[in-house]
Amino acid sequence: MSNETSRKIEKHHWSYREGTIVTGLILLLGFVIQTASGGIVLRIAGFPWNLIAGLIFLFLLVLAFYRWKNHPIMKWLGGVKAALPAILGFTFLVLLMGFVKQDVEPKSALVRTFGLTHLVKTWPFMLINLYLMILLGITTLKRITPFNYKNAGFFLNHFGLFLVLLSTALGSSDIQRVTMNCYENETEHNALDTSGKPVEMPVTIKLLNFNIDEFRPKVTIIDNKTGQIVLNKNKNPFELLDRNTLDIYGYHLEVEQFLESSGKVGDSYVSLNEPGSAPSAKVKVTKDGSEISGWVYSGSYVNQPETLKLNENHSLVMLPAEPRKFSSELNIQTPSGKNVTTTIEVNRPFHIDGWSIYQLSYNTEMGRWSNLSVLELVRDPWLPIVYLGIFLMMAGAAFLFITGKPKDGGTKHVA
């Protein structure tokens, strides 16, 4: 570049105006390509192309930075005057996502053309993401050359976010998520991908046992005519049957007998432990001197529930118990020769050979008698980089907490 043009740029400092124009153009370009391509759902190329693209991007970024380090535009790219409009542009897209329901069939042609129902997989989102990564990369490089420990917090926050954005964007197509329906004592090696297509898995899983722990059931009062729950403003319409006496809607309940797993024999209930048995309780209900006692039963996929008629208007109902915990005991075999027996539950997945196995669901109609356990298997090879970015950002947040706002605005330590 000649000295003259360089001086011209020096004279006319790039500022917010240019930042806004660049961000606006990127968004415009994104929406134009999106529209022209007929509202396609974008996918980044999978391994190894995403890795190669990432390495080339990093290489070009570092090269460009050192080649034009002192150029005014490079300085502008690493500063707030480019960053703020870019953040605003990104915020604009996320705001759209905040109002338009995502991952559903678009209702109008306009929404479809612009890809508003799957914004993260559209051109404008990808381009603004790329632009943010360029800015974050440059500002990080700017601050670490030469390195000053006072910039540590800045580095952690910006480079952490850079890593998170880069690895989630590049890694998105390498993520495999499938669900596997496992029946008790059967071996399964087929799964369904997110679109419902069958996939053969490298691991085989045998469900040894599926187990549900339940909370005590809740009771409520219903209107005999409508069958609806009597809503009581300012009072809880449900009570958990975990104690011997309780008050609900002006009725006083005494639990004379509670059976966790039971079935009907004659006119009363007895403890049973076979498929379809459910909780029941013998209760005495008093209100204004009148007293009624009898059984309530929550019912199951086999048995009818039983309600207790209290008077002309109201009946007492026991609701199906809610799960406290559900877990699956699994035997897992991998092609690498591993043979593991383990128990997984919600919040306690099992990790093996790059796969994470999650407890997802079960046959909810059958409840605790379900012989089906639905597992989710997830593979996300880029996760370590995402986590590295997250941990850097956490450390950065801790820095922010300890040091607070830099007294001089922080500009002192910019090289």
Partner 1 sequence: MEELNMWLDFPIYASVAILCWLAASGLFLSSGKKLMNQLAAGLSFAGTALLLVFMTILWLHIQRPPMRTLGETRLWYAIFMSGIGLGSYLRWKYKWLVSYSLGLAMVFLIINLQHPETYDKTLMPALQSPWFIPHVIVYIFAYAMLGASSLVALRNIFFAPSDKTIKGPIQMADNLAYLGFSFLTLGLLFGALWAKEAWGHYWTWDPKETWAFLTWMFYLIYIHYRFRHPSEHKRAMTILAVSFAILLVCWFGVNYLPSAQNSVHIYSE
Q: Is 398 in the site for partner 1 (CB under 8 A)?
A: yes
DSSP string, 107-167: SSHHHHHHTGGGGGGSHHHHHHHHHHHHHHHHHHHHHHSS--GGGHHHHHHHHHHHHHHHH
Question: Closer to partner 1 at the Cβ: 6 or 194?
Answer: 194
Question: Closer to partner 1 at the Cβ: 169 or 222?
Answer: 169
Site for partner 1 in 96-155 (CB under 8 A): 97-103, 120
Q: Is 80 in the site for partner 1 (CB under 8 A)?
A: yes
Q: Assess contact for 204 and 333: CB atoms under 8 A.
A: yes
Per-position x/- string for 268-307, each x denoting binding to partner 1 as judged by CB under 8 A, each - no binding: ----------------------------------------
Whole-angstrom CA distances from 222 to 131, 228, 251 are: 58, 5, 13
Q: Is 245 in the site for partner 1 (CB under 8 A)?
A: yes
Say whether the peptide bond before residue 48 is cis (omega within 30 degrees of 0).
yes
Which distant-in-sequence residues (6+ apart) come within 8 Å of 287 by Cβ?
Answer: 250, 251, 252, 310
Question: Closer to partner 1 at the Cβ: 155 or 269?
Answer: 155
Q: Is 81 in the site for partner 1 (CB under 8 A)?
A: yes
Question: Closer to partner 1 at the Cβ: 87 or 201?
Answer: 87
Site for partner 1 in 214-233 (CB under 8 A): 215, 218
* Piece of 48-56, 62-70, 265-273, 342-350 that binds partner 1 (CB under 8 A): 342-350
Q: Is 185 in the site for partner 1 (CB under 8 A)?
A: no
* Piece of 94-102, 188-196, 268-276, 287-295 that binds partner 1 (CB under 8 A): 94-102
Q: Is 159 in the site for partner 1 (CB under 8 A)?
A: no
Question: Closer to partner 1 at the Cβ: 264 or 356?
Answer: 356
Q: Assess contact for 241 and 318: CB atoms under 8 A.
A: yes
Q: Would you give the DSSP letter of residue 352?
A: E
Q: Is 14 in the site for partner 1 (CB under 8 A)?
A: no
Min dist CB 66 to partner 1, Å, is 25
Q: Is 326 in the site for partner 1 (CB under 8 A)?
A: yes
Residue 2 has phi, psi (to 5 degrees) of -75, 160
- Take residue 23 and report the two structure tokens written for it: 């961000």
Amino acid present at 414 = V
**Rounded to the nearest 10 degrees, what angle do helices 123-144 and 49-67 cross at?**
50
DSSP E strands, 288-371: 290-297, 308-309, 314-318, 323-333, 339-345, 350-352, 355-362
Among 33, 152, 372, 386, binds partner 1 (CB under 8 A): 386
Q: Is 414 in the site for partner 1 (CB under 8 A)?
A: no
Q: How many H helices and E strands in the chain? A: 9, 17
Min dist CB 337 to partner 1, Å, is 26
Among 14, 76, 90, 114, binds partner 1 (CB under 8 A): 90
* Piece of 50-58, 60-68, 74-82, 186-194 that binds partner 1 (CB under 8 A): 74-82
Query: H/E element holding 206?
Result: strand 198-214
Question: Distance between CA atoms of 47 and 171, rounded to whole angstroms?
Answer: 8
Question: Closer to partner 1 at the Cβ: 218 or 368?
Answer: 218
Question: Distance between CA atoms of 5 and 19, rounded to whole angstroms?
Answer: 20
Amino acid present at 136 = L
Among 7, 8, 13, 324, binds partner 1 (CB under 8 A): 324
Min dist CB 347 to partner 1, Å, is 4
Question: Distance between CA atoms of 299 and 278, rounded to whole angstroms?
Answer: 6
Q: Is 84 in the site for partner 1 (CB under 8 A)?
A: yes
Amino acid present at 94 = V
The site for partner 1 (CB under 8 A) is made up of 79-81, 83-84, 87-88, 90-91, 94-95, 97-103, 120, 168, 175, 177, 215, 218, 234-240, 242-245, 322-326, 345-349, 356, 358, 376, 378, 380, 383, 386-387, 390, 393-394, 396-398, 400-401, 404-405, 409-411
